[in-house]
Amino acid sequence: MEKDRSLQPPPPHVLVFPFPLQGHINSMIKLAELLALAGFKLTFLNSHYNHERLVKFNNIAAHFERYQGFEFKTITDGLPLDHPRSGNWFLDMYEEALEMKMKSGFAIDVAKELEIPIIYFRTSSPCSFWVYYSIPDIIQAGELPIKGSEDMNRLLTTVPGMETYLRCRDLPSFCRETDIEDSIIKLYVKQTQKSSQADALILNTAEELDGPILSQIRTKCPRVYAIGPLHAQLNTRLKAKHGESYDHFSNTLWEVDKSCIFWLDKQPNRSVIYVSFGSITSTSREQLVELWYGLLNSKTKFLLVVRPNSVIGKDGEGEDVVVELMEKSKDQGYIVNWAPQEAVLNHPAVGGFFTHNGWNSTLESIVAGVPMICWPYFADQQVNSRVVSEVWKIGLDMKDICDKKIVEKMVKDVMVDQKEEFVQSAAEMAKVTNQSVNVGGSSYSNLDHLIEDIRIMSL
Ligand code: UDP
């Protein structure tokens, strides 16, 4: 008998509100799409500035018309639209936003007051979440602050599950400040510990990747949904619904230079190292030149991303060096402002990823089975790179060093001398991770449970 639709409860309405950075938008838009695919009504709240860029560089209308009730709404980020937003501006804003939260209350306090269920989605890595959660214990045990550069390799004993590999050097970058009491780290810790009061916590990982750390987190936050890697989960579900040829949506905030794919098409299998440090990092002119010499001396082909305004030189110089390097490395390298990263990592010519270990980049590399060379910049990247190299053994960690000889050696190790081992371990990791987002896999089932639980919460 046909069900009377008027008797069915209306679909849950979920508001998704990312922090206005590329990495946060990427994973939160994927989560929003997954919930919309389940029939939920979705409101995605973006800053005016980022929404304009999303519309400019992606075919939003065509991609989102598949979802009923998916709505983009925008608010100001406090700056006029034509004002440049540098990496530093975002960092200042992040600090300000966290401070405001401390003064005015966290989203969780508001949600509790309004009696609305609240689910936290931490877009950064579970390992960094766990470290932030453990910081009061680290301080209590006298293991922080770090006592100078000679103290950086000391092993920490107070983060459960990480006793064998976590050094001071691998703590989130904000822990490097000497005045811990007065640092932004306090805000992070408070924000992280508030997570245990939420109705549930979503993490962009799979049980197979982060099982031991997830068990630790579950001792504090009992309802944790590990439903990642989200980009892979979304690909699986969209393919199942629309077939192989569904249009892949990249949600990029920069103009993608697709010419690098044509360049990659001409290179032999696994011969190119892809070099990119995400959407916020900046490098000094000297660091870029050192890195470039290392790449050149390794005799390995490279695809290098240098975002506009991301090179900092004396007296405003910086960008000019890129043109110079491009000219000099024509036969060996290709430089673009912004790459279609997922497509690049999945290209057969790519054999390694020189990365800052932003969590999205790390997951994209894992899913594509590409070994990494890690050069973390800030925040969770320091701990991510340690896990990549020491726990998963799918890469090498160059943390805190920028020396052309080391760059050359690491590129040769990953691309030539230890290629077999790295290719094998990265392939194994890719296999279990991709299985987790297929029907019957852990992330696939966890997402089904999350969808069901949100339906129940919203009744
Ligand atoms: N990205 C891209 N093209 C580039 C560089 C980065 O599409 O040339 C994307 C990348 O695929 C990833 C995101 O930008 O999804 C960066 O996020 P991540 O968490 O790795 O680093 P963040 O930018 O937050 O530091």
C-alpha distances in angstroms, 124 versus 25, 44, 252, 383?
12, 19, 18, 11
C-alpha distances in angstroms, 305 versus 8, 89, 257, 278, 373?
50, 21, 10, 9, 15
Mutate to test the pocket of ligand 1, among 19, 24, 93, 279 (most ligand atoms within 8 A of CB): 279
Distance 137 CA to ligand 1 centre (A): 32
d(CA 209, CA 393): 12
Mutate to test the pocket of ligand 1, among 361, 372, 380, 383 (most ligand atoms within 8 A of CB): 361
Q: What is the pLDDT of residue 188?
A: 81
- Which residues are bridge partners to 302 per DSSP? 273, 333
Q: What is the DSSP letter of 417?
A: I
Residues of the chain with pLDDT under 70: 1-6, 86-106, 182-183, 244-248, 314-318
Distance 162 CA to ligand 1 centre (A): 27
Q: What is the pLDDT of residue 96?
A: 67
For residue 252, which atom of ligand 1 is closest to its CA?
7
Residue of the CA atom closest to atom 17 of ligand 1: 23
Distance of CA 25 to the CA centre of its chain: 10
Distance 114 CA to ligand 1 centre (A): 35
**For residue 134, is it left (φ>0), alpha (ψ between -120 and 50) or beta?**
alpha
Angle between helices 419-436 and 359-368 (to 10 degrees): 100
Going by C-alpha positions, the residue among 337, 251, 246 that lies closest to residue 55 is 251
> Has this prediction a pTM greater than 0.90?
yes
For residue 21, which atom of ligand 1 is closest to its CA?
24
Residue type, position 126, single letter: P
Residue 428, φ and ψ in degrees, nearest 5: -65, -40
Distance 389 CA to ligand 1 centre (A): 20
Residue of the CA atom closest to atom 6 of ligand 1: 278
Q: What is the pLDDT of residue 108?
A: 81
Distance 227 CA to ligand 1 centre (A): 20
Q: What is the pLDDT of residue 103?
A: 59
Mutate to test the pocket of ligand 1, among 57, 360, 380 (most ligand atoms within 8 A of CB): 360
Residues with CB under 6 A from ligand 1: 21-23, 26, 252, 276, 278-280, 305, 338-339, 341-342, 358-361, 364
Distance 163 CA to ligand 1 centre (A): 30
Distance 22 CA to ligand 1 centre (A): 7
Q: Are 351 and 419 in contact (CB under 8 A)?
A: yes
Angle between helices 419-436 and 207-218 (to 10 degrees): 70
Distance 23 CA to ligand 1 centre (A): 6
Distance 59 CA to ligand 1 centre (A): 19
Distance 360 CA to ligand 1 centre (A): 6
Q: What is the pLDDT of residue 330?
A: 84
Alpha helices in 38-181 (DSSP H): 48-57, 60-64, 87-104, 107-114, 126-140
Distance 275 CA to ligand 1 centre (A): 12
Q: What is the pLDDT of residue 83?
A: 81
Q: What is the pLDDT of residue 1?
A: 47
Alpha helices in 162-246 (DSSP H): 185-194, 207-218, 230-242
Mutate to test the pocket of ligand 1, among 19, 21, 22 (most ligand atoms within 8 A of CB): 22
**For residue 138, is it left (φ>0), alpha (ψ between -120 and 50) or beta?**
alpha
Residue 289 tokens read as 């030149």
Residue of the CA atom closest to atom 24 of ligand 1: 23
Residue of the CA atom closest to atom 13 of ligand 1: 23
Residue 419 tokens read as 């290629």
C-alpha distances in angstroms, 458 versus 116, 225, 249, 340?
9, 17, 29, 37
DSSP per position, 229-282: -HHHHHHHHHHHHH-TTPPP----SS---THHHHHHHTSPTT-EEEEE-TTT--
Give the per-residue SS3 of 7-74: HCCCCCEEEECCCCCHHHHHHHHHHHHHHHHCCCEEEEEEEHHHHHHHHHHCCHHHHHCCCCCEEEEE
Q: Are 127 and 376 in contact (CB under 8 A)?
A: no
Asked if the interface predicted TM-score (ipTM) of this complex is over 0.90, the answer is: yes
Residue with tokens 């509100």: 17
